[in-house]
């Protein structure tokens, strides 16, 4: 009998799990579920069956998520997590990585009365073991195939390591480069942000939940976290409903429409209501209007943080506010585990709210196949093989190349000939960990990361690359300058690598001063005075300010934090194996005083000129032009592109009609290259004033030297719509400007049309 039972158990869970303590209830449950699954009952039916067996404690346990000891937030008291897992009081763990550790935790969970498997989540933001460029860099590629590949490989490696869920994509629109988390998103534009949100969800979830190479996406941070006042992380957000609906919500909706399994709420209050306790966001919009069927996890401790917000007086009220507002799972605050049962007893919280949250969470566990086999993601041989897949590095190098933005290249200094004697100088030249950027999964050994030095030396040959550090990233010592100048004098051309350390952008890394840190720009000046041709590579997680360099140095390349293959990707671009095609997904300010600065601003009644001339009584600064250092959508190429022959199928359209737009794009230079052509509109007159321009479509087009192509766009009512004062999504009749550009400030073709 016993062997049969064990066979049954093992066959049910298809796992060689150690001999566990199987209770009589567990056995009958297993028989019951085994029977159900065999009859292909729906997930909903299987969830219902399980819910009927669960106690209130066990349901509340599903709503509880703990971190492992590797914390990504303020560390909570350890307590006895393992015992709580064994007692079925934990539904999920985060920051547990690897087959061995996830298997071990799962086996403890399967000792609970109902043997409900754990969900394992991790911040796989831009790669798991193979690290890709930070998301803001990938956004600069405007290449949805590249971005999907990056997310797909991240998912494959993550799932092979026993993890079911990534806390990504972060889709927060951000217009303030002082906010450190701009590195984690897709920049300032809603249209580009929506395209990237959809793409990343698709990459992470692949063929869908249940595939063992797919992980649940988690769209974050809901909502408007990127609009923190002053760019100070966790700060308040105060905005109109029009802005919320027009700018900040669409990427969340795009991700939901792409099938995102989960959402994560945000630390900020929105107009005085903390997001995690905000039923307008989570119930009215997300679960109500948008019909979201997945579950919402709070952000690290955010439920308990409503006390600090001054929104609730204690954890009891925090739990009540959060569950009532639609926060299904409590990450690390322990408010749910400690208070929900009492809240139900006190009649303050209906058990139906707990049932709904538990059902949403259990549904995902069934969809992932965890009740059929809790260990289906935790197979050691698969983990080893997947992590070592060299194709992942090849793809990482390709995505990195496509993320690089060429900001300046006067005198055609780039691309370089390998025959030139090159000096590589700067504090990031030999860095590895700084190439990974923030939010990379931590590994004890980063020796496999290709530094700029390694990437360039591989191209010019060992011993042929001169090097000096010059200075550190943040300190003010110039002791290394003389050596750097001497090394520069021995070279034909100098490449400087400057920028931020990997932890100078990211969570809780807001900066009031976003100039190049330390004395790096003085180092650039010192090298510049040698008279040698200089190329500057900027490695950073955000737009930085480097005005002197921008005005004096002939070639500047924004290399962000490019990940595992950073050095190789830089070499590919610098030596012309890849013609840079990136375009900025964020506006680069000339001064912090301009922030917030973005391209799709409103014109005001007294618009200042863009050319820097200042007339009194205009909306500008008396001490600085209003235009940025580099505009949204800007990026150069080694070749040049001609835009001409704009045609519209009509200059009038009814709301149920479309206008077909076409133009000819020609590669007029000597290198093959990719161009991101951008379509902008301006609604000249509307019931709510509209931005001076809005991105409404784009295409990334490859052309060989001399090749030309007819490019097509379609204008439909959707592209002309906006939220009016009643928050109705409308397209109002009137005249529209149509602009096609190589950037938001480099409009090459213009026309107008009328919506009747």
Enumerate the active-site residues: 299
Nearer to ligand GLC, 264 or 428 (CB): 264
Residue 135 C-beta: closest distance to ligand GLC, Å: 12
- Beta-bridge mates of residue 119: 92
91, 357 in Cβ contact below 8 A? no
663 makes contact with ligand GLC (CB under 6 A): no
567 makes contact with ligand GLC (CB under 6 A): no
549 makes contact with ligand GLC (CB under 6 A): no
Binding mask 180-219 for ligand GLC (x = CB under 6 A): ----------------------------------------
179, 229 in Cβ contact below 8 A? no
Burial class (CB in 10 A: 0-12, 13-18, 19+), 247: buried
305 makes contact with ligand GLC (CB under 6 A): no
Q: Which residues does 385 contact at the CB level (< 8 Å), separation at least 6?
A: 160
73 makes contact with ligand GLC (CB under 6 A): yes
Nearer to ligand GLC, 300 or 680 (CB): 300
Nearer to ligand GLC, 125 or 354 (CB): 125
Nearer to ligand GLC, 167 or 641 (CB): 167
* Sheet with 659-667: strands ordered across: 641-648, 659-667, 708-715
Nearer to ligand GLC, 123 or 500 (CB): 123
Nearer to ligand GLC, 93 or 247 (CB): 93
300 makes contact with ligand GLC (CB under 6 A): yes
Burial class (CB in 10 A: 0-12, 13-18, 19+), 597: buried
Q: What distance in Å separates the CA atoms of residue 256 and residue 502, rounded to the nearest whole number? A: 31
416, 576 in Cβ contact below 8 A? yes
97 makes contact with ligand GLC (CB under 6 A): no
Q: Which residues does 292 contact at the CB level (< 8 Å), separation at least 6?
A: 256, 263, 286
Residue 503 C-beta: closest distance to ligand GLC, Å: 14
317 makes contact with ligand GLC (CB under 6 A): no
Write down the H helix ranges in 236-350.
241-243, 250-257, 279, 306-309, 315-325, 335-345
220 makes contact with ligand GLC (CB under 6 A): yes
- Beta-bridge mates of residue 216: 165
Residue 573 C-beta: closest distance to ligand GLC, Å: 31
Q: Count interface residues toward ligand GLC (CB under 6 A).
A: 9
φ, ψ (nearest 5 deg) of residue 676: -95, 105
Place of tokens 């590629």: 141
CA-angle at 725, arms to 722 and 727, nearest 5°: 60
The SS3 of residue 752 is strand
Q: Which two tokens stand for residue 662?
A: 């076409």
Q: What distance in Å separates the CA atoms of residue 263 and residue 95, rounded to the nearest whole number? A: 18
437 makes contact with ligand GLC (CB under 6 A): no
What is the biggest distance separating any 2 CA atoms in the chain, rounded to whole angstroms? 93
- Beta-bridge mates of residue 517: none
Nearer to ligand GLC, 75 or 394 (CB): 75
Nearer to ligand GLC, 67 or 378 (CB): 67
Q: CA–CA distance from 458 to each of 245, 418, 467 (Å)?
A: 49, 10, 14
Site for ligand GLC in 471-510 (CB under 6 A): 507
Residue 76 C-beta: closest distance to ligand GLC, Å: 12
Residue 266 C-beta: closest distance to ligand GLC, Å: 8
172 makes contact with ligand GLC (CB under 6 A): no
Phi-psi region of 32 (alpha: psi -120 to 50; beta: other; left: phi over 0): alpha
Q: What b/e readout covers 249-282, taking b as 16+ CB neighbours within 10 angstroms?
A: bbbbbbbbebebbbbbbbbbbbeebbbbbbbbbb
Strands 708-715 and 659-667: antiparallel
The H-or-E segment that residue 227 falls in is: none
Q: What distance in Å separates the CA atoms of residue 379 and residue 110, rounded to the nearest whole number? A: 17
Centroid of chain to Cα 308: 28
Nearer to ligand GLC, 174 or 428 (CB): 174
Q: What distance in Å separates the CA atoms of residue 204 and residue 215, rounded to the nearest whole number? A: 6
Nearer to ligand GLC, 89 or 220 (CB): 220
Strands 330-331 and 64-67: parallel
Q: What distance in Å separates the CA atoms of residue 442 and residue 665, rounded to the nearest whole number? A: 44
Residue 167 C-beta: closest distance to ligand GLC, Å: 3
Nearer to ligand GLC, 72 or 627 (CB): 72
Phi-psi region of 448 (alpha: psi -120 to 50; beta: other; left: phi over 0): alpha
When binding is defined by CB under 6 A, the residue of 62, 64, 65, 72 that contacts ligand GLC is 72
643, 592 in Cβ contact below 8 A? no
Q: What distance in Å separates the CA atoms of residue 86 and residue 372, rounded to the nearest whole number? A: 20
Site for ligand GLC in 114-143 (CB under 6 A): 123
299 makes contact with ligand GLC (CB under 6 A): yes
Residue 184 C-beta: closest distance to ligand GLC, Å: 8
Nearer to ligand GLC, 72 or 587 (CB): 72
When binding is defined by CB under 6 A, the residue of 167, 453, 578, 753 that contacts ligand GLC is 167
Centroid of chain to Cα 377: 24
542 makes contact with ligand GLC (CB under 6 A): no
Nearest to 592 by CA among 510, 515, 540: 515
123, 168 in Cβ contact below 8 A? yes
Query: Residues 436, 220, 253, 601: is their CA dihedral positive or negative?
Result: negative
Nearer to ligand GLC, 234 or 753 (CB): 234
639, 666 in Cβ contact below 8 A? no
58 makes contact with ligand GLC (CB under 6 A): no
Write down the H helix ranges in 291-389.
306-309, 315-325, 335-345, 351-367, 380-387
Q: Which residues bind ligand GLC (CB under 6 A)?
A: 72-73, 94, 123, 167, 220, 299-300, 507
């Amino acid at each position: 009998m016993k062997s049969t039972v064990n066979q049954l158990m093992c066959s049910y869970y298809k796992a060689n799990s150690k001999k566990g303590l199987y209770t009589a209830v567990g056995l009958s449950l297993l028989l019951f579920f085994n029977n159900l699954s065999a009859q292909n009952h729906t997930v909903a039916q299987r969830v219902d069956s399980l819910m009927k067996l669960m106690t209130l404690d066990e349901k509340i346990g599903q709503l509880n998520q703990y971190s492992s000891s590797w914390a990504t937030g303020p560390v909570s008291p350890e307590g006895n997590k393992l015992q709580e897992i064994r007692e079925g009081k934990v539904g999920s763990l985060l920051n547990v990585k690897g087959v061995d550790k996830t298997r071990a935790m799962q086996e403890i969970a399967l000792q609970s009365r109902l043997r409900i498997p754990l969900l394992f989540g991790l911040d796989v933001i831009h790669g798991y073991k193979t690290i890709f460029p930070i998301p803001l860099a990938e956004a600069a590629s405007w290449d949805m195939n590249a971005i999907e590949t990056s997310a797909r490989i991240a998912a494959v490696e993550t799932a092979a390591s026993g993890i079911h869920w990534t806390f990504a994509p972060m889709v927060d629109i951000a217009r303030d480069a002082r906010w450190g988390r701009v590195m984690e998103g897709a920049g300032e534009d809603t249209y580009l942000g929506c395209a990237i949100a959809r793409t990343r969800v698709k990459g992470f979830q692949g063929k869908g939940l249940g595939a063992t190479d797919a992980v649940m996406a988690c769209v974050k941070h809901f909502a408007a976290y990127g609009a923190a006042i002053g760019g100070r992380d966790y700060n308040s957000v105060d905005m109109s409903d029009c802005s919320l609906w027009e700018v900040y919500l669409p990427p969340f909706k795009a991700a939901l429409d792409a099938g995102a399994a989960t959402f994560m709420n945000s630390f900020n209050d929105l107009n005085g209501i903390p997001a995690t306790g905000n039923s307008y966001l989570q119930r009215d919009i997300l679960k109500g209007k948008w019909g979201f069927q997945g579950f919402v996890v709070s952000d690290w401790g955010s439920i308990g943080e409503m006390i600090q917000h001054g929104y609730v007086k204690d954890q009891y009220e925090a739990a009540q506010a959060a569950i009532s507002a639609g926060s299904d799972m409590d990450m690390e605050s322990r408010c749910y585990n400690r208070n929900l049962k009492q809240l139900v007893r006190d009649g303050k919280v209906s058990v139906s709210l707990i049932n709904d949250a538990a059902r949403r969470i259990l549904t995902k566990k069934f969809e992932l196949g965890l009740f059929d086999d809790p260990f289906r993601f935790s197979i050691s041989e698969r983990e080893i093989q997947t992590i070592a897949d060299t194709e992942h590095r090849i793809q990482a190098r390709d995505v990195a190349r496509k993320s690089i933005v060429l900001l300046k290249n006067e005198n055609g200094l780039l691309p370089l000939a390998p025959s030139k004697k090159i000096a590589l100088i700067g504090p990031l030249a030999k860095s590895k960990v700084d190439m990974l950027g923030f939010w990379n999964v931590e590994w004890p050994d980063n020796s496999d990361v290709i530094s700029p030095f390694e990437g360039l030396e591989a191209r010019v040959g060992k011993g042929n690359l001169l090097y000096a550090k010059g200075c550190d990233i943040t300190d003010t010592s110039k002791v290394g300058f003389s050596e750097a100048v001497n090394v520069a004098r021995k070279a034909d051309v100098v490449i400087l690598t400057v920028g931020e350390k990997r932890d100078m952008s990211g969570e809780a890394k807001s900066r009031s001063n976003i100039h190049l840190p330390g004395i790096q720009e003085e180092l650039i000046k010192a090298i510049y005075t040698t008279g040698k041709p200089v190329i500057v590579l900027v490695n950073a997680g955000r737009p930085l300010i480097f005005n002197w360099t921008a005005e004096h140095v002939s070639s500047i390349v924004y290399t962000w934090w490019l990940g595992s293959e950073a050095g190789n990707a830089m070499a590919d671009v610098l030596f012309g194996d890849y013609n840079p095609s990136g375009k900025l997904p964020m506006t680069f300010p000339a001064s912090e005083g301009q922030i917030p600065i973005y391209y799709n601003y409103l014109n005001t009644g007294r618009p200042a000129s863009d050319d820097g001339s200042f007339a009194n009584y205009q909306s500008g600064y008396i001490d600085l032009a209003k235009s940025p250092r580099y505009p949204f959508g800007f990026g150069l190429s080694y070749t040049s592109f001609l835009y001409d022959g704009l045609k519209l199928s009509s200059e009038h359209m009814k709301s149920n009609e479309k206008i077909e737009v076409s133009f000819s794009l020609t590669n007029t230079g000597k290198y093959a290259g990719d161009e991101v052509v951008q379509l902008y509109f301006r609604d000249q007159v509307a019931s709510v004033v509209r931005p001076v321009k809005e991105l409404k479509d784009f295409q990334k087009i490859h052309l060989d030297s001399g090749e030309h192509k007819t490019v097509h766009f379609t204008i439909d009512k959707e592209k002309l719509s906006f939220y009016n004062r009643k928050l109705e999504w409308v397209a109002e009749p009137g005249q529209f400007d149509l602009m096609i550009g190589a950037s938001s400030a480099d409009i090459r073709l213009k026309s107008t049309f009328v919506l009747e």
